């Protein structure tokens, strides 16, 4: 594990978002209540695509965020099923510089994944440490390919302050396909940790100190593209800060949340 990998895994805090009324809502893979967004507003957003030649098909594997010239961060479960064959056969890509994930458009850039690093403490039966890094061959140098700043290690959010989740998840419940073409974003409220801990404990779900949860009344960011960023802005609104990344998990028929 190189220095960059160690720094990212040590300093990155996992964020869990849920709908405050989650017991009333069905599980889905979408952003509900969100609106269309542009890569021009979020130049760090990107996605993971696996490309097969026979038959020719592109598979959406998850969202990600650019954190360096050759690096992106995502959720571990988005790439957990990757294998040396996908890397060796050059089938895995990070797609950036685009608002649309599923079409080849002018300016879109694809970056071959040459290495992926899953957090050494990640386990598939839990949500803690659900973090992975992607190293690409071609640099992120597109017009709208800029690394996002990490929130400092001592970063403290204000309870009920807004965060923004984004991705390409479908906007309709239980309807295939589970992605939409155009990027969408949604605002969520960051909740107090003890409230989240008690809420999850009632359902025998572990909730680590590295997690916080979010609520989004009447809207939902339970998106199919887990791995996408959850951000807040600096006080002067000049810079976006990466405070976490998204995941979705099902614990009962009505649970979904984000890391």
Q: What pLDDT, on the 0 to 100 scale, is given for residue 250?
A: 42
Q: What pLDDT, on the 0 to 100 scale, is given for residue 9?
A: 53
pTM over 0.85: no
CATH number of 45-136: 2.40.10.10
Distance between CA atoms of residues 139 and 137, nearest Å: 7
Hey, where are the domains in the chain?
A: 13-40+148-245, 45-136
Pick the CATH number of 13-40+148-245 from 3.60.110.10, 2.30.110.10, 2.40.10.10, 1.20.1250.20: 2.40.10.10
Residue 213 tokens, joined: 């949860």
Vertex 162: Cα angle to 154 and 254 (nearest 5): 105
Q: How far is CA 242 from the centre of its chain?
A: 10
Please say whether the beta carbons of 48 and 61 come within 8 A.
yes
Could you list the beta-strand ranges (E) of the chain.
35-36, 45-53, 56-68, 71-74, 92-96, 109-118, 132-136, 149-150, 162-169, 179-190, 214-215, 229-233, 240-245
Q: What pLDDT, on the 0 to 100 scale, is given for residue 147?
A: 98
Q: What pLDDT, on the 0 to 100 scale, is given for residue 49?
A: 93
Q: For the chain, which ranges sit under pLDDT 50?
A: 3, 6-7, 10-11, 19-32, 175, 222-223, 249-259
Distance between CA atoms of residues 96 and 131, nearest Å: 19
């Amino acid at each position: 594990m190189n220095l960059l990998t160690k720094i990212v895994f040590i300093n990155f805090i996992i964020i869990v978002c849920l709908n405050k009324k989650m017991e009333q809502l069905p599980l889905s893979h979408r952003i509900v209540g969100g609106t269309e967004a542009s890569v021009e507003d979020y130049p760090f957003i990107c996605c993971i695509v696996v490309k097969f030649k026979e038959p020719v098909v592109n598979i959406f594997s998850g969202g990600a965020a650019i954190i360096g010239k050759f690096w992106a961060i995502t959720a571990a479960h988005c790439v957990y099923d990757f294998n040396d064959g996908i890397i060796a056969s050059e089938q895995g890509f990070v797609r950036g510089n685009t608002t649309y994930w599923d079409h080849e458009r002018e300016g879109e850039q694809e970056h071959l994944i040459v290495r992926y690093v899953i957090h050494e403490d990640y386990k598939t039966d839990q949500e803690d440490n659900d973090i992975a890094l992607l190293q690409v061959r071609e640099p992120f140098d597109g017009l709208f390919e800029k690394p996002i700043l990490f929130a400092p290690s001592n970063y403290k959010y204000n309870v009920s302050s807004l965060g923004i989740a984004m991705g390409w998840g479908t906007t309709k419940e239980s309807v295939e396909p589970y992605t939409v073409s155009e990027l969408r974003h949604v605002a969520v409220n960051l909740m107090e940790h003890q409230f989240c801990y008690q809420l999850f404990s009632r359902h025998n779900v572990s909730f680590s100190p590295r997690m916080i949860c979010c609520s989004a009344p009447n809207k939902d960011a339970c998106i199919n593209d887990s791995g996408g960023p959850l951000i807040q802005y600096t006080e002067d609104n000049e810079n976006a800060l990466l405070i976490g990344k998204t995941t979705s998990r099902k614990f009962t028929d009505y649970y979904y949340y984000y890391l």
